[in-house]
Amino acid sequence: MTITKKSFKSTPFFAVLILVIIALSSGLILSVLSDVLYVSDEEKTNRDLAKVYTSDSFTAIEIDSSAISAEGNILYLYQAADGAVVIKASGIKGWKGVTEIVLAVKDGEIVNAIISSHNGDDKTSSIKASHLQQMFVGQKLDGNLEFTTTGTVGGGTLITAAPSCYATWPAVISAANVAVDYLQTKNLTGGAN
């Protein structure tokens, strides 16, 4: 009778052991790195504020939840040192997820608009900064300002005609409407202090 000696390396136990070691090592490295590279909500807010409006300081304004439109939500509201108002709102009706935009309003006029996050709706990457500028910047908060999805941007091409943007633009519009609706209701026009 021939007894074949099986090496430890060829056993299933060794294969599983290797996988477990790799998994544990990866987990350990990633847990350390995720702590080191963690981006807090405060950091994200500061990034948005710096991107949308230049100011030495921002003061948080309390949000009146009863004045928020049903189409979305107001996530934060800040006032800059010169009186301008920065508002972050989320809108529904997108392809998926919740699209969040940030508007800066100064002296009753929108001066800047950015998409803050898309929460999984990656089709927002097709919406360029120039689209947002053309659609929102310069619009005046006259008490009746409201945006529609049939606005023309991008050199005359309907934004809804661009296949990648079609499903997401309604979310951007509804977020903008939530924001301007709130500002007009509360009469926050970003005037001088």
Among 3, 37, 70, 192, binds another protein (CB under 8 A): 37
Residue 19 sits in the site that holds another protein (CB under 8 A): yes
Starting at the edge strand found earlier in the chain, the sheet holding 58-60 runs 58-60, 72-80, 85-91, 99-106, 109-117
Among 14, 46, 54, 81, binds another protein (CB under 8 A): 14
CB of 168 to another protein, least distance (A): 12
Residue 7 sits in the site that holds another protein (CB under 8 A): no
Residue 40 sits in the site that holds another protein (CB under 8 A): no
Residue 142 sits in the site that holds another protein (CB under 8 A): no
State the Cα–Cα distance between residues 96 and 118, nearest whole angstrom: 9
Pairing of strands 99-106, 109-117: antiparallel
**φ and ψ at residue 33, rounded to 5 degrees:** -65, -35
Residue 10 sits in the site that holds another protein (CB under 8 A): yes
Residue 15 sits in the site that holds another protein (CB under 8 A): yes
- DSSP E strands in 30-83: the ranges are 58-60, 72-80
Q: 3-class DSSP state for residue 139?
A: coil
Residue 50 sits in the site that holds another protein (CB under 8 A): no
State the Cα–Cα distance between residues 162 and 93, nearest whole angstrom: 17
Among 112, 117, 160, 189, binds another protein (CB under 8 A): 117
State the Cα–Cα distance between residues 163 and 190, nearest whole angstrom: 35
Contacts with another protein: how many residues (CB under 8 A)?
A: 34
Fill in the per-residue mask, 57 to 96: x = in contact with another protein (CB under 8 A), - = not in contact.
----------------------------------------
Q: Which two tokens stand for residue 66?
A: 């009863």
Residue 125 sits in the site that holds another protein (CB under 8 A): yes
Among 83, 111, 126, 137, binds another protein (CB under 8 A): 126
State the Cα–Cα distance between residues 140 and 150, nearest whole angstrom: 18
Based on CB atoms, which residue is closest to another protein, 67 or 129? 129
Q: Which amino acid is at 111?
A: V
